[in-house]
């Protein structure tokens, strides 16, 4: 079985074991365990960059060692690796040519490009531009972020798996620039859906809890974010009770008349520091503790998640005893 002990870090972001630490690839195991020397998801790549403290993801600060606050900020930083890889070139092309024909109509790209240029490249609640970039990426297939093809020009390199693929592909000579067409399609689709181009993410990305929809942060798989959220009809296992969504609008990244409905992704999130006097930890449960809408714990932690707030984990007996919410039940008998 693939195993790795390290004093710096090991991690997994739903790829194989191969790059549990990029400095010590695990190779030579049976393919039944997973793939080796294969393209990695943007989520895996951004996690590795965060843990390696690489610019622009200098998450551990100048000392290179994570504090509790720094690791919490890293997992909820929501910085998009995919945006970093393509956006500068995309904006340069948009600046050079701001009119594009899409399905027989001429689309003016100036507004969308101005908003993307001012975007912080994060999928935070108030980020304006996150929705635009998501809908731009909707024109590309799921595998486009793994290797050279429709999106990237520099292919996956097995000797540099964290930093490849990259660079927005150039249009073929004499051909329409597909990247600008994709931007034009995003404009049309959002206008058709009645969504303002300046809409912040929290206006559209929402987690239903009973009769309340809570705006949440985080990104989809292609966007290259550590804090992944999304919708999956077959995986209604985190944001309970079961959540359904309307049919997505054709050509979008799952946009519906209710926005982006979130029902899975980040679930139980915990950060712990090991101190001489014992562990200190904080956590939240994105879908909250109770499935009973009458309970005060039906959506309390979903709201914490939406505000990027954490609750303390009570470990010491004295802290547990001092908790004003403590309730003890003595069970006796067989």
> What is the model's pLDDT at position 236?
53
Query: Taking Cα atoms as reference points, which of 35, 39, 41, 3 lies closest to residue 21?
Result: 3
How do the pLDDT tens digits run along the chain, 334 residues long? 999 999 999 999 999 999 999 999 999 999 999 999 999 999 999 999 999 999 889 999 999 999 999 999 999 999 999 999 999 999 999 999 999 999 999 999 999 999 999 999 999 999 999 999 999 999 999 999 999 999 999 999 999 999 999 999 999 898 999 999 999 999 999 999 999 999 999 999 999 998 899 999 999 999 999 999 999 887 655 545 578 899 999 999 999 999 999 988 899 999 999 999 899 999 999 989 998 899 999 999 999 999 999 999 999 999 999 999 899 999 998 7
State the pLDDT at residue 233. Answer: 83
Q: What is the DSSP string of 57-98?
A: --TTTTTT---HHHHHHHHT--B-HHHHHHHHHHHHHHHH--
Domains of the chain: 81-201 (1.10.1400.10)
In this predicted structure, what is the pLDDT of residue 239?
46
Distance between CA atoms of residues 71 and 270, nearest Å = 10
Check if the beta carbon of residue 259 is closer than 8 Å to that of residue 203.
yes
pLDDT, residue 306, reads 97
């Amino acid at each position: 079985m693939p195993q790795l002990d390290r004093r710096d870090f090991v991690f997994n972001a739903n790829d194989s074991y191969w790059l549990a630490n990029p400095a010590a690839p695990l190779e030579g195991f049976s393919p039944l365990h997973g793939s080796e020397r294969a393209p990695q998801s943007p989520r895996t790549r951004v996690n590795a960059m965060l843990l390696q403290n690489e610019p622009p993801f200098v998450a551990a600060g100048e000392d290179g060692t994570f504090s509790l606050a720094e690791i919490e900020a890293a997992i909820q930083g929501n910085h998009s690796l995919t945006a970093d890889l393509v956006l500068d070139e995309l904006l340069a092309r948009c600046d050079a040519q701001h009119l594009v024909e899409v399905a027989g109509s001429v689309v003016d790209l100036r507004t969308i490009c101005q908003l993307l240029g001012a975007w912080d490249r994060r999928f935070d609640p108030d980020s304006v531009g996150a929705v635009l970039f998501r809908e731009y990426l909707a024109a590309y297939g799921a595998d486009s972020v793994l290797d050279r093809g429709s999106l990237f020009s520099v292919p996956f390199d097995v000797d540099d798996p964290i930093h490849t693929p990259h660079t927005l592909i150039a249009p073929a000579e004499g051909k329409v620039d597909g990247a600008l067409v994709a931007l034009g399609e995003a404009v049309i689709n959002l206008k058709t859906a009645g969504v303002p181009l300046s809409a912040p993410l929290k206006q559209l990305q929402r987690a239903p809890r009973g009769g309340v929809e809570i705006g949440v942060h985080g990104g989809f798989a292609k966007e290259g974010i550590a804090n992944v959220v999304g919708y999956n009809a077959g995986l209604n296992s985190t944001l309970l009770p079961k959540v359904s969504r309307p049919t997505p609008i054709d050509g979008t990244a799952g946009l519906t008349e209710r926005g982006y409905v979130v029902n899975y992704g980040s679930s139980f999130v915990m950060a712990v520091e090991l101190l001489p006097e014992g562990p200190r930890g904080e956590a939240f449960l994105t879908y909250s503790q109770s499935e009973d809408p009458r309970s005060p714990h039906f959506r309390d932690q979903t709201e914490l998640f939406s505000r990027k707030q954490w609750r303390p984990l009570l470990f010491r007996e004295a802290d547990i005893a001092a908790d004003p919410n403590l309730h003890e039940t003595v069970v006796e008998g067989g």
